[in-house]
Amino acid sequence: MNLDTKWVPMKWPCGPLEIARRSKSRSFNADLKDMLEAWEQPSTLELLKGTPINCLVVDWANGKPEDSAQQQALKPLLEAGRRLGVSFVGKIALKEGTAAAVAAARKAGLSAVMLRYASAQSFDLPAILQLPPEKVGGETASSIFSTSENVWPGVNLETMEGDNARAGATANPWVNSNAWFSLLAAALAPGKTLWLDFDPPDSSSVVHPANYGLAIADSRAYGSQWIISLDDKLRAALPGGDVQAKGVWEKLCEMVAFFESHREWGAFKSEGILGVISDFRGDNAYFSGEVLNLLNRRQVQFQILERSRSLPAPAQGLKALLWLDKEEPSAEQHSPLLAFVRQGGLLIAAAYWGPPEVKPARGSSLHYDMYNLGTGQIAVAEEGFQAPDQVAVDTHLLLSRRNDVVRLYNPASVNCHSSIDPVHRGRLVQLVNYSVKPADSVTLWVNDQVGSARLWKPGTKGTLALQGVAAVPGMDFRLPPLSLYCALEVEGPNL
**Residue 114 near residue 146 (C-beta atoms within 8 A):** yes
DSSP alpha helix (H) spans, 109-221? 179-188, 209-220
Q: What is the CATH number of the domain that holds 316?
A: 3.40.50.880
Q: How many residues does the chain have?
A: 495
What is the spatial distance between Cα 333 and Cα 345, in angstroms, rounded to a whole number?
Answer: 15
Same domain, 141 and 281: no
- DSSP states of 390-448 as a string? HHHHHHHHHH-GGG-SEEEES-TTEEEEEEE-TTT--EEEEEEE-SSS-B-S-EEEESS
Residue 184 lies in a domain: yes
The sign of the CA dihedral 103, 105, 106, 111 is negative
Residue 303 lies in a domain: yes
Domain count, the chain: 3
Same domain, 90 and 46: yes
Residue 22 lies in a domain: yes
Same domain, 94 and 234: yes
pLDDT of residue 300: 95
Same domain, 376 and 430: no
pLDDT of residue 422: 83
Give the list of residues 6+ apart from residue 30 with CB closer than 8 angstroms, or none. Answer: none
Angle 73-76-82 (CA atoms, 0-180°, nearest 5)? 130
The SS3 of residue 22 is helix
Residue 108 lies in a domain: yes
What is the spatial distance between Cα 381 and Cα 347, in angstroms, rounded to a whole number?
Answer: 11
Same domain, 394 and 440: no
- Of the three residues 237, 266, 295, the one that is the final residue of a domain is 266
- Of the three residues 356, 378, 403, the one that is the final residue of a domain is 403
Same domain, 310 and 260: no
Residue 100 lies in a domain: yes
Give per-residue pLDDT as tens, 218-242.
999 999 999 999 999 999 999 988 9
What is the spatial distance between Cα 415 and Cα 482, in angstroms, rounded to a whole number?
Answer: 11
Same domain, 356 and 471: no
**Residue 447 near residue 493 (C-beta atoms within 8 A):** no
Q: What is the CATH number of the domain that holds 416?
A: 2.60.40.1180
Residue 397 lies in a domain: yes
* Phi, psi of 234, deg, nearest 5: -70, -45
What is the CA 418 to chain-centroid distance, rounded? 14
C-alpha distance from residue 194 to each of 245, 284, 292, 491 (Å): 28, 22, 18, 29
What is the spatial distance between Cα 269 and Cα 50, in angstroms, rounded to a whole number?
Answer: 31
pTM: 0.92
Residues of the chain with pLDDT under 70: 1, 138-139, 157-173, 203-207, 312-316, 363-364, 451, 492-495
Same domain, 394 and 331: yes
Same domain, 399 and 410: no
Same domain, 383 and 452: no
pLDDT of residue 1: 59
Determine which helix (DSSP H) or strand (DSSP E) holds 442, and give its type and residue range.
none
Same domain, 433 and 312: no
| Domain that residue 206 falls in | 9-266
Determine which helix (DSSP H) or strand (DSSP E) holds 350, and give its type and residue range.
none
Residue 188 lies in a domain: yes
- Of the three residues 222, 247, 266, the one that is the final residue of a domain is 266
Same domain, 437 and 351: no
**Residue 22 near residue 28 (C-beta atoms within 8 A):** yes
What is the spatial distance between Cα 192 and Cα 449, in angstroms, rounded to a whole number?
Answer: 34
What is the spatial distance between Cα 40 and Cα 79, in angstroms, rounded to a whole number?
Answer: 12
Residue 3 lies in a domain: no
**Residue 406 near residue 445 (C-beta atoms within 8 A):** yes
Q: What is the CATH number of the domain that holds 210?
A: 3.20.20.70
